[in-house]
Structure 1
Amino acid sequence: MMIEGWAVRVQKVEGERRRQELIAGDALDRTLHPRAEGSDLLIPVTGSPPGTERALFEEIQVPPTLPRHEQVGGIAIMQENDVSGAEEILKGRPSTHTVLCSEGAVKGEFRTKSFTTLAGIPTTRTTISEYGHRLIIDLSLAYFSSRLATERQRIHSYIAEGEVICDMFCGVGPFPIALSDRASWILACDKNPAAIHLLRENLLANNTGNVLPMLGDASHLGELFPDTFDRVLMNLPLIAIDFLPIADQITKPGATIHLYALQEQEGEYIDQIRSIILESTITERYLRSYSAGKWHAVYDIKKD
């Protein structure tokens, strides 16, 4: 719908400079879109200062403020059991098919969560897109964090063509699928059968043929698989450090290990890493805040 308002008429080439002047003078009408008219630009303004004219503008639609939630594919996750708020989210986000309430922290052997459906389709399964890849996930069956998408691209940028990689705790496969176009092949291990099932679906969905799914306990990798690797991923933040001797065992000299950890102070695991891998270069990186006084970090460990 078009709305009549006051406008300043300027040539298009002068449009941005004049708009900044109007912003500085607190005279820009931020509720209306500027409109081109031939070689001119009509900029909406508040009031009617000299040199203005009446013009029709398209109103800027301000999206409604929705209750706090995390969006994962077509699922919105709330921390509060707020049914009315869930209905608002469902109406305000057309691509959302389900609103869930998280019933607590990640728990159990397979790092899963429980959820209650507040609105929409009662499901914990959805599909997300991440840097050109399609990932099928089920939030109640296998752990997944979309917050590491940028981290996956960082690791991708480090990989040399033809590397052999092991993901010790692969989940539904976001790291292996993101890295597969540069690696020679990738061993993707997880002890959660549901995660491996979803991984197989995701490999098919992304036409990925150089990832080998393996259902098994990473603590036995040295016994179960005879090969050694150029790079190992250890994204099991609560206890990954316990598996570092295995990662050391299955990596070649000069290999890189990416150890993910939740910590309360900078460098919390450096001494422990050095006691296990005696000759190495360690780079610690902050990823994100996890909770009050605790953050998610990654240690890039380059074996000498």
Structure 2
Amino acid sequence: MGEERWCLVVSGQEAEERRRRLLEAGLLDRRYRPRQEGGTVLLPLTDEFPGAVRREFEAVPERPNLPRHEIVGGIAIMQENDPAGAGRVLTSRPSLHTVLFPETPVEGEYRTRRFAVLAGVPATRTRVTEYGLRFDVDLSLAYFSARLSTERQRILAAMEKGERVLDMFAGVGPFAITLARKADLVVAVDINPAAVHLLVGNITLNRMNNVVPVLADAGHLPRYGFRPFDRVVMNLPMAAPRYLPEAAALCRDGGTIHLYALQEREGEHLPLIRGVTRGEVLERRVRTYSPGKWHAVYDITLER
């Protein structure tokens, strides 16, 4: 079948999170394909590891040297304006239909970017499949990050059934619709009309009847008279911290706020958090954003 390697045997539910952690630690051997064995997933390791066992794996076929890019559904987003490299990316992945280059950073009230088409079909719209859910996305109209898929699953795993959830910056609905699998109610808010239009379509696409889309400025939400929520998601990394007082006003005592923020030092937003709660705060690094700056999440237990 292949070559025998050390591997870690994990359940299917935890496979993606464990794969990511091994990758970050440099312990995942990317030369070999992970594989399923019964209800478990076998993750090949670069070396022996506590709890590791020996199994056979197939080697990953060598791929051409491709420029760095991010995959969103059928679209690849390049980091460099490199049409020749875009052509190689397009031909290397049959599932792709378009390769884009962002001409602007994420900007403005609606968090959008302008793109140039480097290869393939001139389009910014695509469908993303994530853990059995489907999301229609238009990258020119609403922000979407596939890199937060494991974060969405992490929060879903931490939830109790029947929670009331508020997604303050919902975009096209990846957090809201994912968490609706356990929630009693999810109120999904965004200020961008195009994002809310896509969100409504994605609610229908995934047959969710417990997600309520709201077109509104998150800063105005406390005046709408909502009953306190058990969990509040704040995924607006460049601006979410300034909305923390509103999030605290909307969250029940003992509830949880997930604050996503960009920062340049550990605990950068703790003073602001301590202004609204005495509760437990857990800080995690999600991913690198730029040199010296990273995307962090603070899991906050609200205690007034």
Q: Write out aligned runs for 1:182-261 (5 A).
A: 182-261=182-261
- The offset of 1:16, in angstroms, is 5.9
2:267 counterpart of 1:267: yes
2:298 counterpart of 1:303: no
Alignment partners' CA distance in 1, 2:60 and 2:199: 43
Alignment partners' CA distance in 1, 2:65 and 2:100: 18
2:292 counterpart of 1:293: yes
Correspondence for 1:70: 70
Q: Write out aligned runs for 1:124-163 (5 A).
A: 124-163=124-163
Alignment partners' CA distance in 1, 2:72 and 2:275: 39
When residues 60 and 198 of structure 1 are mapped into structure 2, their CA distance, relative to the original with a 3 A threshold, is closer
Alignment partners' CA distance in 2, 1:151 and 1:110: 22
- The offset of 1:267, in angstroms, is 0.5
Deviation digits for residues 164-212 of structure 1 (CA, Å, limit 9, x no counterpart): 0000000000001111111001000000001101111111111111000
Deviation digits for residues 40-75 of structure 1 (CA, Å, limit 9, x no counterpart): xxxxxxxxxxxxxxxxxxx99533222222111111
- The offset of 1:244, in angstroms, is 0.8
- The offset of 1:98, in angstroms, is 0.5
2:280 counterpart of 1:281: yes
Alignment partners' CA distance in 1, 2:200 and 2:226: 23
Q: 1:221 is matched by which residue type in structure 2?
A: L
- The offset of 1:252, in angstroms, is 1.1
Q: 2:140 is matched by which residue type in structure 1?
A: S
Deviation digits for residues 117-145 of structure 1 (CA, Å, limit 9, x no counterpart): 11111110011111111111111100111
Deviation digits for residues 249-295 of structure 1 (CA, Å, limit 9, x no counterpart): 11111111111110000011111110122x21111111111100001
> Is there any run of 5+ residues in structure 1 with no aligned partner, and where?
1-11, 21-29, 31-58
Q: Write out aligned runs for 1:22-101 (5 A).
A: 62-101=62-101
Q: Write out aligned runs for 1:161-172 (5 A).
A: 161-172=161-172
> Is there any run of 5+ residues in structure 2 with no aligned partner, and where?
7-30, 32-58
Q: In the alignment, is the contact (CA less than 8 A) between 2:71 and 2:146 conserved in 1? A: no
Q: 1:182 is matched by which residue type in structure 2?
A: K
Correspondence for 1:116: 116
Q: In the alignment, is the contact (CA less than 8 A) between 2:288 and 2:295 conserved in 1? A: yes
1:162 match: secondary structure: coil
Alignment partners' CA distance in 2, 1:136 and 1:122: 17
Correspondence for 1:45: none
Q: 1:156 is matched by which residue type in structure 2?
A: L
Alignment partners' CA distance in 2, 1:188 and 1:251: 15
Larger Rg belongs to: 1
1:257 match: secondary structure: strand
Between 118-127 and 67-76, report the one with greater CA deviation: 67-76
1:299 match: secondary structure: strand
Correspondence for 1:52: none
Alignment partners' CA distance in 1, 2:105 and 2:225: 33
What is the count of residue pairs matched by the alignment? 252
Alignment partners' CA distance in 2, 1:187 and 1:68: 36
Alignment partners' CA distance in 1, 2:121 and 2:68: 20
When residues 273 and 75 of structure 1 are mapped into structure 2, their CA distance, relative to the original with a 3 A threshold, is same
Q: 1:74 is matched by which residue type in structure 2?
A: G
Correspondence for 1:53: none
When residues 61 and 260 of structure 1 are mapped into structure 2, their CA distance, relative to the original with a 3 A threshold, is closer
When residues 60 and 180 of structure 1 are mapped into structure 2, their CA distance, relative to the original with a 3 A threshold, is closer
RMSD: 2.0
